[in-house]
Amino acid sequence: MSMKYFFVLGRNPELSRAEVFSYLKKENISLNYSFFRVNGLLVEIEREINLKNVINELGGTIAVGRVLFSGKIRDLLKQIKEKPVYFGRENKVVYSLLNFASDENLSMVLEAMRGNFRNEGLKARYKGVSGTIKLQDGEISRGSPEKIMLRDMNYFLFSDEKRGNFSFGFLEESYDSAEAEKRDMKKPYRRESLAISPRLARILINLSQTKKNEILLDPFCGIGVILGEALLKGINTIGVDIDKSATENARKNMDWFREKYKIDARPIIINKDSINVRIDKADGIATEPFLGELMTKMPSKEKAMQIIFEFEHLIIGVLNNVKKGMKKNAKLAFSSPLIKSQEGRISCNINRICEETGLGIYNLSDVNFPIREFRPDQIVGRNIFVLEVV
C-alpha cells in the first residue's frame, strides 16, 4: 500500500530534496511519485515510514507530515468537512495551516476546517504559521525551524500542479535545531572558521547513502563534525586529516560523542595526508575539503581560478587514492569552492575531475549535481557534488 508524505524543506530546497531522495534510496524505499514547489515536497512511497526516525536522520528538512486527503479541490473540501482532522485530546485547539496553494483555495479549506471543528464541538482558533525562512533563491517562505510547530495542530495545503490535485494533512515531526546547536556548541573543541554545520554534515552523510554499521570515510575530517553526526546515525567512521592538532581534537570530540550519547559505532582518526593514506575499506565518503583561504573582498577572476585549480589538483589526488577501498556504486559526496569573483561565480571543472579519477556523476531521480549552497553575501560558497564508483 502506497503512502503519501509531505516535507517542508530548509533554506536550500534543491539540496534538501536531494537529501530526502538519497535517504529513501539508502533505506530501500521505492519512490513512486514526487512533486516539488517552493520548499514543499510531496512524495508517494511504497510503504509507511516512522516520521520521528526520518526527521532525526535528515539535516535539511524543517518538518515532515502525513497526507490525510488528496484529490480535486471539491472532493478535498468534502473530506475535510466530514472526516476526522483533529487527533488531540483537549477540547480547545489552536491550529495553523501552511499554504502551498492559492489564497482562494486556502480560504475554502479554512472554512471547511471550521465547519469540521464546529461539528466536533471543538473550541478551535486559527493562528497563522509563525516565522519565516529566506530560501537560497531569495524567496521568503513561511515557517522557520524554530517556530513552525508552535500551534497545537499544524496543517498543510499543497497544490500538485502536475496531477491537478491538492493534498491536505498535518505536520507530525520537526527538526530539533536547538538540540543540534547545543550538540555543536558543547563538544570539547570547535573551529568556527573552518568547520561545517551539523546540518550540512548530515546532508552530506545522507547524500553518501552510507548505512548504519557501514564505514564512512571523511578524508578531510578536521575536528570531526561529519564524523560525530555519522556516529549518531550508527555509522562507523574513518577520519583523516593532515593537521595534527585537528586530529587530536577530533579524537577528543569523538570520545565525547560516544560517552554523551552512548554510541556503539566506532571512529578511527588518522593523522596523515589523504593522498597517501591507505584505506582498506570504505562504503561511502562525505567530506568538506579545504575550500581556500578566507576572503573579505572579491578576488579577481585569475585569483579565483588559481584557487579552483589548486582544489582540483588536491581532490583528484585524494579521490584516486581513497577510491581503491570502495566497491562499485559507492557514493562520494563532497563540497567544492564556489567563488564570487568580479566576473561571476566560478566553480571547479567536474568533468576534469571525473576524467582523471574514473568516477561518474551520480544521477538521482530528477536532481542534477552540482547543487549550489551559498548565501548572497558569501564570497566563497559551495558546490555540492555526488560522484559514484563505476
Residues 218 and 331 grouped into a single domain: yes
CATH number, domain containing residue 18: 3.30.2130
The alpha carbon torsion through 112, 118, 123, 127 (nearest 10 deg) reads: 10
Residues 87 and 163 grouped into a single domain: yes
pTM: 0.96
Residues 108 and 64 grouped into a single domain: yes
Residues 86 and 190 grouped into a single domain: no
The label of the residue with cell 552530506 reads 204
Name the domain boundary from 175, 198, 216.
175
Residues 79 and 218 grouped into a single domain: no
pLDDT in tens, 102-128: 999 999 999 999 999 999 999 999 999
d(CA 140, CA 137): 9
Residues 21 and 157 grouped into a single domain: yes
Residues 166 and 190 grouped into a single domain: no
Residues 161 and 228 grouped into a single domain: no
Q: How confident is the model at residue 375 (pLDDT cuts 50, 70, 90)?
A: confident
pLDDT in tens, 161-189: 899 999 999 999 999 988 888 888 999 99
Name the domain boundary from 144, 175, 206.
175
pLDDT in tens, 281-328: 999 999 999 998 888 899 999 999 999 999 999 999 999 999 999 999
Residues 186 and 129 grouped into a single domain: no
The predicted pLDDT at position 177 comes to 87
Domain with 54 in it: 3-175
Q: How far is CA 348 from CA 236, 305, 353, 358, in A?
A: 30, 9, 8, 17
Looking at the structure of the chain, the number of domains it has is 2
CATH number, domain containing residue 368: 3.40.50.150
For strands 92-100 and 371-373, give the pairing: unpaired
Neighbour tally for 323: CB within 10 Å: 18
Name the domain boundary from 148, 175, 202.
175
DSSP secondary structure, 112-150, as one string: HHHHHHHHTT-EEEE-PPP-EEE-TTS-EEE--TTTTT-
Average pLDDT, the chain: 95
Averaged pLDDT, 245-255? 97
Radius of gyration of the chain (CA): 23
Residues 283 and 311 grouped into a single domain: yes
Q: Provide the terminal-to-terminal Cα distance of the chain, rounded to the nearest Å.
A: 34
Residues 288 and 183 grouped into a single domain: yes
Residues 74 and 196 grouped into a single domain: no
